[in-house]
Amino acid sequence: MLTFPNFEVRESLLNHLLASFSDNDVAEIQPLYLQLLHYLEEKKIEKFQTTLHGLFARIPYQLHIKHEYYYHSLCYMILALMGARIDLEVLSDKGRMDAVIELEKIIYIIEFKMGTAEQAMQQIKKRKYFEPFLNRDKEVFLLAVGGFKAKIIRCLLEKAGN
């Protein structure tokens, strides 16, 4: 099994990969993902959405791939660079969540869709992905991210149980 020798090497590799895939300079990447983390911590999803959309808008059209896994990978790189604890393809008794981000006071259950954010939110609710996290001493939010097909990133946020 291959792994990174330390955090700095992991962060450097992810920084360079994200910079390459998003057509940004490496120096531009760190402030952006620190902003994204702040927006999640403060539940400022509109700002999170705008920043995420801006990153994806910088990707040249010929590099866009019409497969959901492409966007999962890019989102994973972005979210991993934030320094938050992120788990991908999290299994539950009702299905598989695309991602779970655990912050100090908040847990985000995330579903990515090529289609609409509404479709992603519907899947989270239908499969009750939030149930395994309700017994934690943290707020649990459902974060649906869609619009990759139309290249218009849209996020929906709801508190679990609403």
Residue 7 has pLDDT above 70, yes or no: no
* pTM: predicted TM-score of the whole model, two decimal places: 0.79
As given in the structure block, the two tokens for residue 153 are 């990133």
Confidence at residue 53, expressed as pLDDT on a 0 to 100 scale: 85
* SS3 state of residue 10: helix
10 Å Cβ neighbour count for 27?
9
Q: What letter represents residue 96's amino acid?
A: R
Confidence at residue 97, expressed as pLDDT on a 0 to 100 scale: 94
Tell me how far CA of residue 28 lies from CA of 18, 64, 103, in angstroms.
10, 21, 24
Mean pLDDT computed over every residue of the chain: 84
* SS3 state of residue 119: helix
Distance CA 116, CA 19 (A): 26
Please name the residue that has the structure tokens 């990707």. 59
